[in-house]
Structure 1
Amino acid sequence: MESSKPVRRRRASALSRLWHRVLLCSFLLTASGAQSGELDAVARAQLDLIVAAQIEAGRSPGAVVVTGDAHGISYEKAFGLRVAGQHPEPMTVDTVFDLASLTKAIATTTAILQLVEDGQLQLDAPAARYWPAFAANGKQHVTVRELLAHTSGLRPGLPVLPAAATPASVLRDVAAERLHAEPDTRVIYSDLNFVVLGQLVQRITHRSLDHYCRTHVFDPLGMADTGYLPDSEHALRSAATTADREGMRRGRVHDPLASAMGGVSGNAGVFSTAHDLARFAQMILNNGRAGEVQILKTSSVTALATPASPPSILPLRGLGWELSAPLASNRDRLPPVGSIGHTGYTGTGIWIDFVSQKWVIILTNRVYPDDKGDARPLREQVLGLLASREPEIDIRDVEQRLPWTAPAIAAASILPVSTGPLKTGIDVLEDQQFAPLSGLRIGLVTNRSGFDANGRRTIDVLEQAPGITLAALFAPEHGLDTNRDERIGDSHDAATGLAVHSLYGNSQRFSDASLEGLDALVFDIQDAGVRFFTYETTLGYALEAAARRKIPLFVLDRPDPLGAERFGGPVLDSGHESFTGFFPLPLLPGMTVGELAALFNQERLIGADLRVIPMHGYQRSMRIADTGLGWVPLSPNLRTASQLDLYPDVALLEGANVSVGRGTPHPFEWIGAPWIDGVRLAQTLNDLDTGARFEPVDFVPTESAYRGELCHGVSIVSHEPSRQTARLGLALLSALLRLYPQTFDLKATRDAVGSKAIWQAIRQGADRETLEALEAEELGRFGLLRARYLRYPGE
């Protein structure tokens, strides 16, 4: 055992040297046609960097990346090695890969849907109708659809298989399985589901699964290099996986369950090439047709991408495929519908986008030679790069282009129902039967965060309230649905037909024309509890507008989602106010919306007729998870409570030349730039007492800073909610300045930090104790002011 580490290091070193040689010979083929899908030189260079970095990191010896559209291939390139050792072989675009679980989507799902089309099988029929033995132990009602969607309730796989396992013994064990969950209540990704489906194909057609797929799927599509049990010619150009008793696997299935099934199973066992998979993807985008041959009906193709699993459980699954958002620059902000994808354990993956009409295939041998590789970063970065080249998409455009996505989009917009004792201002107003607003013609300042305990929009509650006329709507930054990250024009609310006046368009203030004829303004927006979040400034502008028009402003109070029992961080300098800082507040004011409104109104001498509808049952120590209100994203990049918790710290970097993870699945959890050494930065930060732990990460943002560029940086993998306010953020600023004094743009963070004294101390290299002493001095003055406006218990 002790000698294995030096051997492994020598092998890694050899792989690295071979990679440098093979990279010079990497094969590039660009097909004619599909000019719109061509990658420009910059994108190709970034893609080369992405794959090279993953190979250098030892996550995979080699890869083939292929992209295209319904008409053909637009980009294809092979990287690295398919076999190393004394006789290395370079990866080529015709390398044969063990597809592993791609078998489920490419072969088994296609076969099942063909049988449905032919009337030989029904999706909602019990699987036991076709395989009676499967009914054992309470599985008699599990349907074919539930098997395809991984909602059957079966566990992921069988225990360790005995060496003497045979297809017959595997099928006996699967038939004897008990359910681990009620069907159609959970998604449990299970190989057993597809072993059953493969058996159904064989029992219905009286042909082996490999024969059926060859005859009805692969041959009609011209997939000459695809099939189970590769012959010697295909095995010779296959990518190696791992060793077994017979030696290194090449052309022999890696999956143990499929191996026990003799290499032919519904869950794994198919081998293929990038070219053949490209043919399959083109068929899907051509409504199931390949030339004159109809492989699947259009209705079956639609079914692949229609949610078949519970809408509240992610990842959302269609029939045989995982569902995801389209390859658009804002894909991480969209509901997971519009494209389908699947991955395989060996390092394979395919994604087909019905909106852009493009597809992506990434094939690696990441398990070679010792099952230690990882294809996930490569997949994420390549998909990020390709998405960054596409325009932003409005979810309403997705629904218009793909009408069958409407139910899933509607399900994604459902607001949560309260499960706790807290009543927000809108709930209290309902209890009062809207008496404070009786007889008034009102304008409502709100967005998706304004809803009552029953999950109804405040817009709809007030529009239907007796004795009230809801005449106009006003939307802050990010729009009425909190899904826009750009300037927004005026619009109309589809449900009520009311005019929506944008407060983040040509102006951020209320125009006199928009207030014409109103008797009052009502404000119901969930704030983020952070000084530079612009909803606070919109509250201040609402006070000014109400005072100017001499009409009351009703604030329907909501909690501070980060907890209102504490306040802290640098205080904005007086005279430095802006749209991201209405009043000299600390980074975390520790106040509710209603309390802030009272402070703004009095201390800015606004003089508005402010009427706060207070919450009932609120304690200052409550964070959003304690309130029972349920979480809705407060903006396109504050999608989770965890991201909100990090937002005040990480957003201190926003103005600088770094990415804070916008345009990734992890905004405010990832920080990086092309010029950062992620390993070094993670080590530096982990040596500090920040209340967080960091790991290196590489990523490609699809939008915002460094869009479409490979960034290196850190992932915040854990953080203490009770950590010292702003300590993490100030440590990030100090560490980046210390490591990259000539590159990091500290000057651009001045407005976010707010305090000139603290910002200058960072610039001068002050230690943490000095920074926190300056902060404490500023907070002492604010604490006395804040205390005058607190109205809830807890301090």
Structure 2
Amino acid sequence: MRREFDAYVVALTTVAVVAVTVLLAAPRVFTAGGDSMRGTAFRADELGFRPRVKPGIQVLLEQRLDLVRGKRVGIITNPTGVLPNLESDVDVLAGLRPDVDLVAIFGPEHGFRGTAQAGGSEGSFQDPVTRIPVYDLYGKSPQQIATVFQTAGVDVVLFDIQDVGARFYTYIWTMADAMEAAALSGTAFVVLDRPNPIGGLAVQGPVLDPAFSSFVGRYPIAQRHGMTTGELALLFNDRFVPQRTGGRRAELSVVPMEGWQRWMYYEDTGLPWVMPSVNMPTVETSVVYPGSGLFEGTNISEGRGTTKPFQLLGAPYLDRRLASALNSLRLPGVAFREAAFTPMFSKYAGQMVHGVEVYVTDRRSYDPIRTAVAMMVTVRQLYGTAFRWEVDLGDSVHPYWIDKMTGSDRVRKAVDAGKVAEEIVAGWSEELAAFRALRSRYLLYPED
């Protein structure tokens, strides 16, 4: 009888060990919401995704919960804050109660839900799913954000938003302002890293002159910086945050990705693309954006109000000569098609305009900023004073939007003076080399 009982115990133990081994070997699956009635999340592979990269949020949940366990947690995020199975950061973190106490959500430009257009937000409200309050950060100074953090009663703030790799895309400046606020308020700050969707090798364009600092460029970095949000956070906290907070730095932690390499464009990661904002529908949009985004500072439509923003560019005074002239330049990695379109909103809403569609034929040789400068030079040559710069009526010091976006007045003045694109681009070579050297100190992922 004793031998039979011992055999029974051994058998049960073996089954238990096998079961535990299988569970530990299986991919971790996080349930959505705060209770089991909300259903079970699918694995990314069950949904058809084959991720090669683990974003910072997944690494946090699997390995670094010590950063948030037992603390009152806030998160700055938007629809891009998801795991590879498309489950929301907010839902997952809320489901970890009481181990993790998620008490606040903070929304950037376009809002937590991502429904607002450029220059807008969704305001403050209560998330209907988790019942967690959402605080609007857009348009607030670091001092005001510090007050918001204190009002929300957070011990630590997470940042998890997909950037697109251009200096004038505002999420990195929401992060910078929040880091300054964290330094002022003594709040811990954790950046959950995500891929740079246009790769981490190319560094292009002018470096911002601090005299032209604005919400489309706070600190002196290159227009195409070639860094992840985590790398930028390390650079910002070391070099720039103390300059604006009386020498204080944020209590910063960065949770790196696993598997990301600098040569990767977003499609190479295997992660699902979630629109970072309403006019960034595809990865291809992000590829052209560091250059085509400059047309926001001109009287040429950048394609807002169409299904191909930043790939369609047009104005009433342009005609078929433009595409032919641009193709004759033989710019590396890009071609142009004559196009006509009618924006549904923004510039020339409801009016048919003529211009071009931008086709990237080779991402590796394509320089979006050089291309945009060559386009502006060509438009000035062909259409003269019909081509104009947009003015910020609320800024009497630096009224031209193009100056804010390029980071100085040099590009505008050079185009107006009739300089060729090659001369304009050569004008920022030294500052770009200096930025590359500075940038190299903060890279989390090696350059091949």
1:553 to 178, 189, 206: 189
Q: What residue number does 2:111 align with?
A: 479
| Counterpart contact for 1:649–1:728, Cα < 8 Å | yes
Return the offset for 1:418.
4.7
| Counterpart contact for 2:285–2:309, Cα < 8 Å | yes
Return the offset for 1:505.
5.5
CA deviation string 1:311-332 (max 9, x = no partner): xxxxxxxxxxxxxxxxxxxxxx
Return the offset for 1:586.
1.0
Tell me, in whole angstroms, the C-alpha distance in 1 between the residues paired with 2:69 and 2:149. Answer: 21
Q: What residue number does 1:423 align with?
A: 54
Tell me, in whole angstroms, the C-alpha distance in 2 between the residues paired with 1:639 and 1:536. Answer: 19
Equivalent positions of 1:159-178 (< 5 A) are none
Equivalent positions of 1:150-189 (< 5 A) are none
Return the offset for 1:433.
6.0
Q: What residue number does 2:422 align with?
A: 769
| Counterpart contact for 1:540–1:597, Cα < 8 Å | yes
Cα–Cα, structure 1 residues 553 and 675, in superposed 2: closer, same or farther, change >3 Å?
A: same
Q: What residue number does 1:686 align with?
A: 327
Q: State whether structure 2 residue 177 is matched by structure 1 residue 536.
A: no
Q: What residue number does 2:245 align with?
A: none
| Counterpart contact for 1:488–1:504, Cα < 8 Å | no
Q: State whether structure 2 residue 80 is matched by structure 1 residue 445.
A: no
Equivalent positions of 1:616-635 (< 5 A) are 616-635=258-277
For residue 788 of structure 1, give the secondary structure of its aligned residue in structure 2.
Answer: helix
CA deviation string 1:82-101 (max 9, x = no partner): xxxxxxxxxxxxxxxxxxxx
Q: What residue number does 1:703 align with?
A: 345
Equivalent positions of 1:194-233 (< 5 A) are none
CA deviation string 1:710-731 (max 9, x = no partner): 2111112444212135121111
Letter in 1 for 2:410: A
Q: What residue number does 2:9 align with?
A: none
Letter in 2 for 1:667: P
Return the offset for 1:568.
0.8
1:665 to 279, 282, 307: 307
Q: State whether structure 2 residue 444 is matched by structure 1 residue 791.
A: yes
For residue 488 of structure 1, give the secondary structure of its aligned residue in structure 2.
Answer: coil
1:742 to 358, 379, 385: 385
Equivalent positions of 1:12-51 (< 5 A) are none
CA deviation string 1:552-588 (max 9, x = no partner): 1011111111101121112111221111102111111
Tell me, in whole angstroms, the C-alpha distance in 1 between the residues paired with 2:115 and 2:55. Answer: 23
For residue 522 of structure 1, give the secondary structure of its aligned residue in structure 2.
Answer: strand
Return the offset for 1:748.
4.4
| Counterpart contact for 1:554–1:611, Cα < 8 Å | yes
Tell me, in whole angstroms, the C-alpha distance in 2 between the residues paired with 1:554 and 1:417. Answer: 30
Tell me, in whole angstroms, the C-alpha distance in 2 between the residues paired with 1:483 and 1:729. Answer: 28
| Counterpart contact for 2:208–2:217, Cα < 8 Å | yes
Q: What residue number does 2:136 align with?
A: 502
1:782 to 409, 415, 435: 435
Aligned-pair identity in percent equals: 39
CA deviation string 1:691-727 (max 9, x = no partner): 3211221111110011111211111244421213512
Return the offset for 1:520.
0.8
Letter in 1 for 2:325: T
Letter in 1 for 2:150: L
Q: Which runs of 5+ in 1 are unaligned?
A: 1-414
Letter in 2 for 1:628: G
Return the offset for 1:598.
0.8
Tell me, in whole angstroms, the C-alpha distance in 1 between the residues paired with 2:62 and 2:49. Answer: 15
CA deviation string 1:611-654 (max 9, x = no partner): 01111111111111111111111110100111111111111110
CA deviation string 1:147-190 (max 9, x = no partner): xxxxxxxxxxxxxxxxxxxxxxxxxxxxxxxxxxxxxxxxxxxx
CA deviation string 1:397-437 (max 9, x = no partner): xxxxxxxxxxxxxxxxxx97751221111111111261221
2:150 to 486, 507, 515: 515
Cα–Cα, structure 1 residues 460 and 694, in superposed 2: closer, same or farther, change >3 Å?
A: same
Return the offset for 1:594.
0.6
Tell me, in whole angstroms, the C-alpha distance in 2 between the residues paired with 1:712 and 1:725. Answer: 21
| Counterpart contact for 2:288–2:310, Cα < 8 Å | yes
Q: What residue number does 1:612 align with?
A: 254
Letter in 2 for 1:791: L
Return the offset for 1:515.
3.1
Q: What residue number does 1:318 align with?
A: none
| Counterpart contact for 1:696–1:715, Cα < 8 Å | yes
CA deviation string 1:334-365 (max 9, x = no partner): xxxxxxxxxxxxxxxxxxxxxxxxxxxxxxxx
Letter in 1 for 2:155: D
Return the offset for 1:514.
4.4
For residue 135 of structure 2, give the secondary structure of its aligned residue in structure 1.
Answer: strand
Letter in 1 for 2:73: I
| Counterpart contact for 1:620–1:794, Cα < 8 Å | yes
| Counterpart contact for 1:416–1:630, Cα < 8 Å | no
Tell me, in whole angstroms, the C-alpha distance in 2 between the residues paired with 1:515 and 1:719. Answer: 49
Equivalent positions of 1:191-340 (< 5 A) are none
Q: What residue number does 1:402 align with?
A: none
| Counterpart contact for 2:141–2:177, Cα < 8 Å | no
Q: State whether structure 2 residue 281 is matched by structure 1 residue 639.
A: yes
| Counterpart contact for 1:672–1:714, Cα < 8 Å | yes
Letter in 2 for 1:651: G
Return the offset for 1:481.
2.3
Q: State whether structure 2 residue 225 is matched by structure 1 residue 589.
A: yes
Cα–Cα, structure 1 residues 770 and 693, in superposed 2: closer, same or farther, change >3 Å?
A: same
TM-score of the superposed pair, with normalisation by structure 1: 0.46
Tell me, in whole angstroms, the C-alpha distance in 1 between the residues paired with 2:109 and 2:48. Answer: 25
2:369 to 726, 733, 737: 726
Q: RMSD in angstroms over aligned alpha carbons?
A: 1.9
Q: What residue number does 1:435 align with?
A: 66
Q: State whether structure 2 residue 235 is matched by structure 1 residue 599.
A: yes
Q: State whether structure 2 residue 406 is matched by structure 1 residue 753.
A: yes
| Counterpart contact for 2:342–2:352, Cα < 8 Å | yes
CA deviation string 1:667-696 (max 9, x = no partner): 11111111111x111111111132321122
Q: Which runs of 5+ in 2 are unaligned?
A: 1-45, 243-247, 390-399
For residue 784 of structure 1, give the secondary structure of its aligned residue in structure 2.
Answer: helix
Tell me, in whole angstroms, the C-alpha distance in 1 between the residues paired with 2:401 and 2:230. Answer: 32
TM-score of the superposed pair, with normalisation by structure 2: 0.81
Tell me, in whole angstroms, the C-alpha distance in 1 between the residues paired with 2:408 and 2:430. Answer: 12
Tell me, in whole angstroms, the C-alpha distance in 2 between the residues paired with 1:497 and 1:452. Answer: 21
Q: How many residues align?
A: 380
| Counterpart contact for 2:52–2:271, Cα < 8 Å | no
Tell me, in whole angstroms, the C-alpha distance in 2 between the residues paired with 1:560 and 1:540. Answer: 17
